[in-house]
Amino acid sequence: MDHSAAMTLEGGPVEPGMGVPNLKLGMWVFLLSEVMFFTALIGSYIILRAAQPEAFAEPGVVLNVPLTAFNTFLLICSSVTMVKAFAAIEHGDQKGLRLWLLATVAMGACFLGVQAYEYVKLVDHGFVPFAAGYAAEGGALYGATFYTMTGFHGAHVTIGVLALIWITVRAFMGKYTRASHGGVETMGLYWHFVDLVWIILFTIVYLI
């Protein structure tokens, strides 16, 4: 993108500073704060697990790895559909934008459904956040850290799905064009970030 000429995108004029529209810069700054937020949660988990390894179960003993591996694949697929939606509107393809956005919403919602199902099963087996005694292996610390991390990520996905629905409604109203689609790009950044966090979480929480 030729940054020397002042261009008008939905995100406002490209300021000389960073060379990207303000909307995108704002989202990136927000996502960087989210990096520190999830670093605190995941960092705490790593530290608590290093301090009390016996309070945590081995991979696959309490948590359902095949189910969450499928869920990881689902979220990766939703990243592809999101980036396809963006690529479509970059070429002015309104129909493609709408279809790919609908697919992203559907897969995001499925991810949440699978996570809810996983939680119900875990609670059935006695794996709950704070109770001292467990039916399943692992201590209160395991439940507390697990539900905190995956719960906050799930909340981010929920917010993302709701925002995606709003973006999709605007897409059907024809609000986005080849020359003006900053909202789609910004939404994409958030959605890919949520996928990126889950990639780290899935590995550290479920596989190690």
Partner 1 sequence: MTMDSADVAVESTHKKPNYMAVFVGLAVLTLVEVGVAFLGLGRVTTILVLVGLAVWKAVLVALYYMHLRFEPPRLIIMVVAPLPLAFILVLAVLTEF
Distance CA 122, CA 134 (A): 11
User: Rg of the chain's alpha carbons, rounded to an integer?
Assistant: 20
Residue type, 74: L
Minimum CB distance to partner 1 smaller for 13 or for 113? 13
Q: Do 67 and 118 form a contact (C-beta atoms < 8 A)?
A: yes
User: Under the criterion CB under 8 A, does residue 74 sit at the interface with partner 1?
Assistant: no
Identified binder of partner 1 from the candidate list 23, 67, 87, 99, rule CB under 8 A? 87
Taking the complex as a whole, how short is the minimal distance between the CB of residue 196 and partner 1, in angstroms? 5
What is residue 30's three-state secondary structure? Answer: helix
User: Under the criterion CB under 8 A, does residue 173 sit at the interface with partner 1?
Assistant: no
User: Under the criterion CB under 8 A, does residue 100 sit at the interface with partner 1?
Assistant: no
20 to each of 11, 63, 152, how far by Cα in Å? 9, 42, 30
Taking the complex as a whole, how short is the minimal distance between the CB of residue 115 and partner 1, in angstroms? 17
Tokens 């999709």 found at:
168
Q: How many CB atoms lie within 10 A of CB 70?
A: 13
Segment lying near partner 1 (by CB under 8 A), choices 28-36, 116-124, 132-140, 164-172: 28-36
Q: Do 149 and 138 form a contact (C-beta atoms < 8 A)?
A: no
User: Under the criterion CB under 8 A, does residue 23 sit at the interface with partner 1?
Assistant: no
Distance CA 44, CA 29 (A): 23
Taking the complex as a whole, how short is the minimal distance between the CB of residue 135 and partner 1, in angstroms? 24
The distance between the two most distant Cα atoms of the chain, rounded to a whole number of Å, is: 65
Identified binder of partner 1 from the candidate list 15, 30, 61, 76, rule CB under 8 A? 76
Minimum CB distance to partner 1 smaller for 6 or for 132? 6
DSSP letter assigned to residue 54:
G
Segment lying near partner 1 (by CB under 8 A), choices 43-51, 106-114, 118-126, 136-144: 43-51
The contact set with partner 1 (CB under 8 A) reads 1-3, 5-9, 13, 17-20, 25, 28-29, 32, 35-36, 39-40, 42-43, 46-47, 50-51, 59-60, 65-66, 69, 72-73, 76-77, 79-80, 82-84, 87, 90, 178-180, 188-189, 192-193, 195-196, 199-200, 202-204, 206-208
